[in-house]
Amino acid sequence: MLPNQPAAVLVYNHDGCAPVVCLDLDSARGDTATDHRRLTDLLDDLGAPWFSDTSPNGGRHLYVPLAEAAPLHEVSEVVRGLTALAPTLDPQPMLNIHAGCIRPPGSRHKTGQHQRLDQPIAAAVDRLRAPARPEVWRAMRTYASRLAGAPANDGAVRAQAAPPTGSVTRIDALHGHTAPDATFEQIARTGQWDPQRYRSASEARQAVLWASVASGWAFVDVARRVSDGTWPGLASLYARYRVNHRHQALARDWQRAVAFEGARRSRRSADDRDAGLVHSRTTSPHQSQRGAAGERIREWLAAVDLLTRRGDPAERAVLHALAEAGTLRGTTEVEHGNRSLSIATGLDQSTVGRVLRRLRSAPRDRLLIDLVRHGEGVKANVYALVIPDLMRPACESKPWRRGRIHAIRPAFRELGLGAAFVYDVLERAREPLSGRQIAVEAGLGHSGAHGILAVLASWGLAVRSPHRGWVVGSASLERLAEQWGVSEAVQAQIERYRHERRAWWAYLGLVDRLAPEGDGGEAPDDIGATILDWPRQINEDDPSPPTGPAPGHQMGMSDLAQTLRQRDAVRTRHALLLLAEVLGAREVDDLGQVAARRS
């Protein structure tokens, strides 16, 4: 009985290695029969076992089982090299650790027919039981490198110098830094690196460990990510070692990275920081969210639930982000720009701006935020979190809101806002809840809430107790965000916004020039060019530079004069604000009246 639904299998395991090399011959690229013959003749000459199948549209798959699973960087060398011999070979399935997949023999094709083995099934099983030995794989790599016109990258298999002795340890993070930046995260997740920066796999993996050490991580933080599949790319870079020796090799490299970073810090002052190594938090979490401000904000969230539970999810997300910011700062007056709220919610910056305008223009009996100060210069708008007068008694009588107050955590960028609200209900629940109770508390329809609970349960974020109800699961949101690549996307967003802010500060004259951003990045030489390339999604809630000519427009004298006048006006307003705050100065319209009063 053959399956009646399409199916595909991943070609890389959790270690980031391929136990079977799958060569996909695409019929849309040409004559697959000729390429199939060329490749099978080569495999026979090298002594590599293989079997194959044919798809209904004429495509072919060749399978080469390996005695020792091969890492991505070795497999990519082979499949790219073999494209010179077989033009119909599509290397893409073997170039992606996370998403590379292949339709196996017997799977249903989109035409309604099935993949058919070219040999008896017993012959295919025999090939799987007698896979290619390591020396055969090395011969395949050598042959493929000759086809590609480049020597095989043996940097990953050269003997390493003896590591320093001593126990595996950790050192303090650089001030304000918490995790490797997106460049190192990408290497750890995909196993791919820039050959202009790192000449071999050993250099690439050492760079990832160095960034982790400098971020204050412990060895167990990296070892866990390697073992549970969060960082399959880094795991694949240790494939040269036997399975039972990989952990020891990782520990030796970790100790080497600790020694290197310790020596580097001893040569440099604590204030001399590497801008591109790690990223920093935008806020410093307090040890406790209790206190007077925390209590008022929890009462305010009761009003938020009553007024927005059945409303726009984006409004609820922005309001929860304001609550988190206020709690962390210990105040009910929150100064947060659109970019910060975009990071906290996962919403687009322009969406945040529209939501804020709609919220602050609500009627007084439904007003939850009040604009108490307009943004100016480097200052963002300040919003007061207010409870409508008629709702105050009901909000003050509500029970204490359990748990920490969160915005929309990164994992819910993948799972959706509805999942964030359901998970928040489960976290705060004192006892198991039924699906109907959760739907009411989360402000969702019953069928929608049950669907979300099923998704959360599939990822271990929710658990259903028989005859009792739903409780929060034990899975980690942070680890899931890492596995899905969301953490990397958030870091990239933070870096982009940081660069935009520095461009604005440079425009205001608060910094002389832009400091380099990221590893090896160079700052623009012309601040004006940075301003003119400013993103167009700008609104009144986030102070931003005046509009200039379109990118690519050649500035004339009139354009330049207008830009300079606008810059001077902004600087003048900023100076007046400083005079008012520091000296108590106030602006007058008629200087003659001032002179008369003085006389």
Do residues 191 and 126 share a domain?
Answer: no
Do residues 30 and 136 share a domain?
Answer: yes
Do residues 126 and 29 share a domain?
Answer: yes
Please report, for the domain that includes residue 131, its CATH number.
Answer: 3.30.70
Q: Do residues 282 and 494 lie in contact, with contact meaning Cβ atoms separated by under 8 Å?
A: yes
Task: Answer whether residue 437 is part of any domain.
Answer: no
Do residues 18 and 130 share a domain?
Answer: yes
Q: CA-to-CA distance for 401 and 305, rounded, in angstroms?
A: 12
pTM: 0.49
Query: What is the predicted pLDDT for the residue at 563?
Result: 52
Task: Answer whether residue 337 is part of any domain.
Answer: no
What are the start-end ranges of the H helices in 386-434? 392-396, 412-415, 417-428
User: What are the tokens at 514?
Assistant: 């832009």
Do residues 118 and 246 share a domain?
Answer: no
DSSP single-letter state for residue 381 = P
Do residues 112 and 190 share a domain?
Answer: no
Task: Answer whether residue 424 is part of any domain.
Answer: no
Task: Answer whether residue 340 is part of any domain.
Answer: no
Do residues 132 and 226 share a domain?
Answer: no
pLDDT in tens, the chain (599 residues): 677 777 788 888 877 788 999 999 988 888 899 999 999 999 999 999 999 999 988 899 999 999 988 888 888 889 988 988 899 998 888 888 877 888 889 888 878 788 899 999 999 999 999 999 999 999 999 888 888 765 554 443 333 333 344 445 678 877 666 778 777 888 888 888 888 888 888 888 898 998 888 888 888 888 878 876 778 888 888 877 776 778 888 888 888 888 888 888 777 654 444 444 444 444 444 334 445 677 888 888 888 888 888 888 999 999 999 999 888 888 888 888 888 899 999 999 889 999 999 998 888 888 998 888 887 777 788 888 988 888 888 887 777 677 788 899 999 999 999 999 999 999 888 888 998 999 998 888 888 888 999 899 888 899 887 778 898 888 888 888 887 888 888 888 888 888 887 887 777 766 654 444 433 333 333 333 333 332 333 333 444 444 443 444 444 445 545 555 555 666 666 666 666 655 666 665 554 554 555 44
Query: What is the predicted pLDDT for the residue at 2?
Result: 72
Query: What is the predicted pLDDT for the residue at 540?
Result: 38
Indicate the number of domains in the chain: 3
Query: What is the predicted pLDDT for the residue at 526?
Result: 35
The predicted-structure confidence for 55-64, as pLDDT tens digits, reads as follows: 988 899 999 9
Query: What is the predicted pLDDT for the residue at 322?
Result: 92
Do residues 126 and 15 share a domain?
Answer: yes
Q: CA-to-CA distance for 346 and 26, rounded, in angstroms?
A: 39
Q: CA-to-CA distance for 65 and 130, rounded, in angstroms?
A: 8
Domain boundary among 227, 242, 269: 269
Do residues 119 and 245 share a domain?
Answer: no
- The DSSP result for 3-66, as a single string, is -SS---EESS-TTSEEEEEEEEE-GGGS-HHHHHHHHHHHHHHHT---EEEE-TTS-EEEEEEE
Query: What is the predicted pLDDT for the residue at 240?
Result: 75
Task: Answer whether residue 279 is part of any domain.
Answer: no
Task: Answer whether residue 206 is part of any domain.
Answer: yes
Domain boundary among 216, 242, 269: 269
The predicted-structure confidence for 412-460, as pLDDT tens digits, reads as follows: 999 999 999 999 999 888 888 998 999 998 888 888 888 999 899 888 8
Q: Do residues 318 and 345 lie in contact, with contact meaning Cβ atoms separated by under 8 Å?
A: yes
Domain that holds residue 71: 9-148
Do residues 31 and 117 share a domain?
Answer: yes
Do residues 211 and 127 share a domain?
Answer: no
Burial profile 572-598: b = 16 or more Cβ within 10 angstroms, e = fewer: eebeeeeeeeeeeeeeeeeeeeeeeee
- The DSSP result for 143-154, as a single string, is HHHHHHTS----
Domain boundary among 220, 252, 269: 269
Task: Answer whether residue 33 is part of any domain.
Answer: yes
Do residues 101 and 141 share a domain?
Answer: yes
Question: Which positions ≥6 away from 404 have C-beta within 8 Å?
Answer: 289
Q: CA-to-CA distance for 251 and 169, rounded, in angstroms?
A: 10
Task: Answer whether residue 326 is part of any domain.
Answer: no
